[in-house]
Amino acid sequence: MRIASLMLMLAVNASAHDVHRSTAEAEYNAATAKLEVSLTVFVSDLELALVRQTEREMSLAKTPAAEFDAQIQRYLGRTFTVTDSSGKLAPLHWVGRKIDKATEASGDPEVTLFFEVPLPDGLKGASLRYAVLCDCYADQINLVHLRNDGRSAELRFTRGSETAALILPK
């Protein structure tokens, strides 16, 4: 019963914004052979996803940071995955998170998640599955700005269209 009440409360809070989106910046760093990612989401959306994952209360303000971060990493391990050119799932290395100061005072702040994905062979043949929050919202839109070696591309992901090759224009 407590979980149902908590889910209802989060669902009401999550409706504070009409747009269900996340945005990511992903840059391949050839010197370190890593895809460096910063992913921004609404705190209320992230908390809802973690409550569903854990089936217990998860709050950025109340849950111990180490536990909250571990659950974020577990969630990203299912919803933001990179496959290298050999088809192998690349590991995600957590860097940290930061509340967006510009939205902190609003009723619906955003948080940026920072992590790296090792890709020793670069972006060639790599693909991204970006399904963050698609399990929570049918109208979820995930955008990524991909950069490498002076080239860039914008990729868009939605429920049912969650995977794409990491290809940049020539």
Residue 4 has pLDDT above 90, yes or no: no
pTM of the model: 0.88
CB 126 within 8 A of CB 165: yes
**What angle, 0 to 180 degrees and rounded to 10, lies between the N-to-C axes of helices 43-54 and 2-14?**
160
Task: Return the DSSP state at 77.
Answer: H
At 8 the pLDDT is 41
Task: Count Cα atoms within 13 angstroms, Cβ side, for 109.
Answer: 14
Domain boundaries, the chain: 2-165
How would residue 108 be classed by pLDDT, with cut points 50, 70 and 90? confident
Sign of CA dihedral 72, 92, 77, 157: positive
Segment holding 103, helix H or strand E: helix 101-104
pLDDT 10s digits, 12-58 = 444 456 779 999 999 999 999 999 999 999 999 999 999 999 999 99
Distance CA 59, CA 66 (A): 12
